[in-house]
Structure 1
Amino acid sequence: MKLRLWFAAAAAASAMTLVGCAGTGPNQQMGVAGGAVGGAVLGNVLGGSTAATVGGAAIGGLIGNEVGKNSDQRNQQRYYNDQPRY
């Protein structure tokens, strides 16, 4: 039974990672991956069911997506501000 939950967590994390990586920056991709894995593990620990694991992966992926996107935007803004003006 525990093995099934871990497989569900891995599948949910993989799905969130693949869905969240289209046309994004590197920090956003890492945020989705890390958030989905962390959320899946936390959901499994707290809920102990497949639904909790998948829900945790979804919520963690969304939070990681936003954190990574903000980081990519901040890095892009710094890059453009450091460029010489002609």
Structure 2
Amino acid sequence: MISIQRFSSLAVSAALLLALGACAGMSQRDKNMVVGAGIGAAGGAVLTGGAAAATVGGAVVGGVIGHELDKDKKK
């Protein structure tokens, strides 16, 4: 059991490092979109008890909000 937990924590850590490395070349707008999609997906899953449609819908809405967040600052 401990080896499975250790493997799981190592896998999550590796995935997190890869994900953070992938964001290095992104613009601030793209980063906002990714963060918004993640938060929206988590919110949709929590509010509906894990329904797939709500998770995807939350990710879409969060991504759109994150993408549009930085528009007014550029003017």
Place the TM-score, normalised by the shorter chain, in its bin.
0.5 to 0.7
Q: Which runs of 5+ in 1 are unaligned?
A: 1-24, 75-86
- Equivalent AA in structure 2 for residue 54 of structure 1: V
Aligned-residue sequence identity (percent) comes to 43
Gap runs ≥5 in structure 2: 1-25
Matched position secondary structure for 2:70: helix
Encode CA deviations 1:34-79: one digit per residue, 9 max, x unaligned.
Answer: 00000000000001200010000000000000013334x15xxxxx
> What RMSD in Å do the two structures reach over aligned CA positions?
1.6
TM-score (norm 2): 0.58
Give the match for residue 27 of structure 1. Answer: 28
1:50 matched residue in structure 2: 52
Which amino acid in structure 2 is aligned with residue 63 of structure 1?
A: I
**Is 1:27–1:69's contact at 8 Å kept on the other side of the alignment?**
no
Find the residue that maps to 1:68 and give its secondary structure. Answer: coil
For 2:27 and 2:71, locate their aligned partners in 1 and report how far apart those are by CA, in whole Å: 9
TM-score, normalising length: structure 1: 0.51
Give yes or no for the alignment of 1:41 onto 2:42: yes
Give the total of aligned pairs.
Answer: 49
Q: How does 1:1-86 map to 2 (within 5 A)?
A: 26-48=27-49, 49-71=51-73, 73-74=74-75
CA distance in 2, matches of 1:69, 1:27: 11
